[in-house]
């Protein structure tokens, strides 16, 4: 018998989504990294744009940290947004 991890639920996905958004808005880099395993791989079309590189793939917390720092620096905060009603 194996100790397989339980399958993620819709609530798990919602938690990650909500926390990722909250931590990004707060510029909480260490909090964002807590959502990823230390050896995580992230692939995004935003990586080349944010980091000015050809590859869209990042590996590990060090590379993710650089991406999150630069990405949150250029993200407007809620006070700078215009909300249309």
What are the residue ranges spanned by the domains of the chain?
37-75
Q: What is the pLDDT of residues 7-20, one digit of tens each?
A: 989 999 999 999 99
CB atoms within 10 A of CB 4: 6
**Residues 63, 40: Cα–Cα separation, whole Å:** 10
Q: What is the pLDDT of residues 23-40, one digit of tens each?
A: 999 999 999 999 999 999
77 touches 71 (CB < 8 A): no
- What pLDDT score was predicted for residue 18? 96
**Residues 15, 71: Cα–Cα separation, whole Å:** 21
């Amino acid at each position: 018998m194996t100790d397989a991890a339980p399958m993620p639920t819709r609530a798990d996905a919602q938690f990650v989504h909500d926390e990722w958004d909250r931590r990004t808005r707060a510029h909480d880099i260490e909090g964002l990294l807590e959502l990823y395993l230390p050896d995580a791989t992230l692939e995004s079309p935003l990586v080349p744009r944010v980091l000015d590189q050809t590859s869209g793939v990042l590996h590990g917390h060090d590379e993710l940290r650089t991406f999150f720092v630069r990405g949150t620096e250029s993200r407007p905060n809620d006070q700078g947004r215009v909300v249309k009603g």
